[in-house]
Amino acid sequence: MNRNRPWSWVVAILIYVFLYAPIVAVVIYSFNSAKYGGPWAGFSLEWYGKLFSTSQKLDAAANSLILALSSTAISTVLGTMLGYGLVRYSFPGKQTFSWLMYFPVVVPEIVMAVSILIFYSMMHSRLGLFQLGLGTMIIAHITFQVPFVAIVVRARMAGMDPSIEEAAHDLGASNWQKFRYITLPLILPGVLAGGALAFTLSIDDFVVSYFTAGPGATTLPILIFSSVKRGVTPDVNALSTLIILVSIISTVLVLLLSRRRA
């Protein structure tokens, strides 16, 4: 076992280099003074200044945050209710409903995007509903976020002793008090993890967002994809670096809150 440890370290290091080298390269080249990327031409913060002076990219960032925060808040509530109901209640067709919950998880994203677009088109042509825009994108994101939250919350509740809730009920707590003061604090790490997963899925989603977006609802993934087709500019590297920084901070905060509540 001891003789194989150096090889294990080498393999682990190679894997981490393979995973994180592109991210490190993006961060480094966001400080490159070269106008069109390419060879290193010196350190500069010019592209961060140009990034914040470009209204198009700031509008796209605002749309992405509104989309991710709104859909995450709603899907976290709905997913928590769904996960709780599947564990604590029995009803006809429960097993079938549990299987159907995995459908948005396993179905290819392009199929879901086309299906949602067709549904929106039908509702708009017949009833005048669902005009494509930021609202339709929020609804579309909720449809694939809810199952992920429900799966995480249900897994958290599966390891929770139901006798704790029963004891609170025997002591006179109402159903709401039992959930508010007993169940929710115990499953909160799962709720936070599910919410963080939903936020991550939403903030970098491209396929569903692209098919359900309307005028004035361009998000960062859509904008970056359009920019890449014309050639990657250094301000895109700066924008990507800021997204990486926000993602790291958000992940650390969620981990700290989860450990505090665990």
Token pair recorded at residue 204: 């970098």
Token pair recorded at residue 63: 């749309």
CB atoms < 10 A from the CB of 36, how many?
10
pLDDT in tens, 223-239: 888 877 666 677 788 88
- Domain residues of the chain, as ranges? 45-261
The CATH H-level (homologous superfamily) assignment of domain 45-261 is MetI-like (1.10.3720.10)
Assign 43 to helix, strand or coil. Answer: strand
pTM across the whole model:
0.81
Spatial contact of 199 and 172, defined as CB atoms under 8 Å apart = no
Token pair recorded at residue 115: 């299906």
Maximum distance among all Cα pairs of the chain, rounded to whole angstroms: 71
- Taking alpha carbons only, the member of 160, 244, 201, 222 closest to residue 75 is 201
pLDDT in tens, 198-226: 988 898 888 999 999 888 788 888 888 88
Distance from chain centroid for Cα 54? 25
